[in-house]
Amino acid sequence: ATKLKQVDAMVQMYFHGKREFTRTGWLAHSATYPRPDPLESADCRGRVAVVTGAGSGIGLEVARFWASRGGTVYLVCRNAERAERARAEIATGEGRGAVHVLLGDCGLSADMRRVAQEISAREAAVHCLVCNAGAITHDRTLTAEGHEVTFATHLLHGTYLLTEELLPVL
């Protein structure tokens, strides 16, 4: 009788596993699984983001998302026209947050220090820093400070220096 119970339990476990833990089971369960979107419930009210390279592309989309969730966002751009266009575009969208433009070239240490000082003077805290600015040139090009443009923008000033300068409020 004990052996029969063991065999019965094994057979039941086999069919349960075959039904629930194979491709058939996965398809059945995945069809009814709720797929929550964590971004839908994101609330950025009372939070501040700084986004470099926010004049277009990924930077613009990050800034747009932050503002649409009620957050304050600083667009750090080197081109005033592009920056203003991005600000206007975000403001006319579903944005409820404040959008500020700070002009600065992420390849220049003086600009990144000034941007960090302006933000630190206005905000008690920065909750999100997106170092997105980029610059790629075909020929070796130096900044006014003598650094290679891509290196200075992507790493030296646009990422490292800006982060270092904002650490007190991050």
Higher-pLDDT residue of 106, 25: 106
Q: How far apart are CA 151 and CA 106, in angstroms?
A: 10
pLDDT of residue 41: 81
Q: 19: which residues sit within 8 A by CB, 6+ positions away?
A: 25
Structure tokens at 60: 């613009």
Tracing tokens 């491709």 back to the chain, one arrives at: 23
pLDDT of residue 125: 98
pLDDT at 151 over 80: yes
pTM as predicted? 0.78
Structure tokens at 165: 């300068």
Structure tokens at 98: 């404040």
pLDDT of residue 78: 95
pLDDT at 76 over 70: yes
Confidence of residue 95 (pLDDT cuts 50, 70, 90): low
* Of residues 38, 51, 158, the one with CA closest to residue 101: 51
Confidence of residue 111 (pLDDT cuts 50, 70, 90): very high
Structure tokens at 108: 């220049």
pLDDT at 24 over 90: no
Higher-pLDDT residue of 138, 114: 114
Where does 21-153 have alpha helices with state H? 23-32, 57-68, 80-92, 109-122, 149-151
Q: How far apart are CA 106 and CA 153, in angstroms?
A: 5
Mean pLDDT of 132-153: 92
Mean pLDDT of 76-83: 96
The total number of residues shown for the chain amounts to 170
Residue 106, Cβ density class (10 Å: 0-12 exposed, 13-18 middle, ≥19 buried): buried
Structure tokens at 83: 């920056």
